[in-house]
Amino acid sequence: MATMTSPISISLQNEKNPWIAAAARFDEAALRLKLDEGICKVLRAPNKEITVNIPVQLDDGRIEVFTGYRVQHSLARGPGKGGIRFAPDVTLDEVRALASWMTWKCAVVNIPFGGAKGGVICDPHLLSDMELEKLTRRYTAEIIDFLGPERDVPAPDVNTNEQVMAWIMDTYSMHARHTTTAVVTGKPASLGGSRGRPEATGRGCMIVTLQALKRMGLAPSDCRVVIQGFGNVGGMAARLMAAMGFKIVCIIEYDGAVYNPRGLDIAALQKHRKETGSVAGFGGGEAIDKTEAMFLECDVLLPGATENVITSLNADRIRCKILCEGANGPTTPLADEVLFDKKVFVIPDILANAGGVTVSYFEWVQDRQGFFWNEQLVNTRLEEIMVESFDAVVEFAEKHQVNNRTAAYMLALDRVAAAIKLRGIYA
Ligand code: GLU
């Protein structure tokens, strides 16, 4: 790995490797902050990487072995925090990057967690509920020594949900010999989950977008929004933003895109998707090419699905005023430069999608207190944190003449570095 005197360089060959992208952004922020070289070394590599091979007996009696990871990037500011994803293309480099992004994200919104992430290489759509439960429980058992409310607290991510969190909580609790709700967040409300957690990431995206609009003197009703993804992030953001008066002109999913320049009826589209399993064939809009849909002229583009959707190969075709990164890592570092030149107002992922982990923090607090808040209190506190963090990032960017992403990284690195300095290096 490069030292701080030779920051990592990004090329067309490696721009889509999330860990290289994370390292490049780290280097840039560290150099600008003139961060101590030793602290850089500590923060550049994850603190702990666990790889497990998980045997599962499938419904037909065969035994299959799945590979899973849990990476704890930094525990300097508190227990590890971050989701677990189930997907066929999970890699260790991806999980490393996602873990480091959790460290920066928790620091940007100033909640007392470090950063961690988990992933299992599997296609959950090809597994039965029983197989998924067995996989989840055995993965949990394999990494159990590293989990705990004071150690590392998982949450949902791509292809995992409340049910998966309930299984993790139960498995951990069976080993601990007592119910330990605070070991995961994003649980069902009936099992210690927080009100408002399912909507939190989408709500956070909406709050920061509203802040960006204010700075530009725009009203939600003036804004055409294109959203990629219609799941927990994109779907929730669409619903909440439509209710706030935004015109959601296009929803892009993996199996098609629907467009309506007057604004889509999001509730009707959600109903259609529930009934047919797809956004395709929706009568309230026209079908358009899902790749081209990203390049529609709009005010807000909200990628809310996967990594690497805006790259050096297509960034020059993006035509939005505001890019709100609901997904983790949707923009590559090479694309950043293009967007900056085009004067797109980027709300970087570690700020834009931090609403999810912020309400996870509220959930962890409520579980530990055994005292639960109503939804209004959750939403008010979420708004306070998102607005404060947005203002801090944008003011930092203006003061130091850097883009919003670099500002967010600098703010985060500074906070994590301060914690390491105060704690000192244990020998
Ligand atoms: N998976 C979400 C994220 O990437 C939430 C993590 C959490 O709540 O711990 O931010």
Q: Rounded CA gap, 306 and 141, in Å? A: 28
Same fold, 46-182 and 200-352: yes
Name the residue ranges covered by the structural domains of the chain: 1-42, 46-182, 200-352
- Is 299 touching ligand 1 by the criterion CB < 6 Å? no
- Is 83 touching ligand 1 by the criterion CB < 6 Å? yes
Query: Any catalytic annotation for residue 117?
Result: yes
Minimum CA distance residue for ligand 1 atom 8: 357
pLDDT of residue 130: 98
Greatest distance between any 2 Cα atoms in the chain:
65
Ligand 1 atom closest to 105 (CA): 10
pLDDT of residue 8: 77
Active-site option among 81, 105, 117, 134: 117
Mean pLDDT by groups of 10 residues along the chain of 427 residues: 60 93 96 97 97 98 98 98 98 98 98 98 98 98 98 97 98 98 98 98 98 97 97 97 98 96 98 95 97 97 96 97 98 96 97 98 98 98 98 97 97 98 97
pLDDT of residue 248: 98
- Is 82 touching ligand 1 by the criterion CB < 6 Å? yes
CA of 382 to the centre of ligand 1 (A): 14
CA 268, 270, 275, 278 torsion: positive or negative? positive
At 112, phi and psi to the nearest 5?
Answer: -85, 60
- Is 114 touching ligand 1 by the criterion CB < 6 Å? no
pLDDT of residue 116: 99
pLDDT of residue 3: 46
Please state which CATH number belongs to domain 46-182.
3.40.50.10860
State the CATH class of domain 200-352. alpha beta
pTM of the full predicted structure?
Answer: 0.97
pLDDT of residue 7: 67
pLDDT of residue 55: 98
- Is 358 touching ligand 1 by the criterion CB < 6 Å? no
Q: Rounded CA gap, 313 and 320, in Å? A: 17
Helix (H) / strand (E) element for 188: namely: none
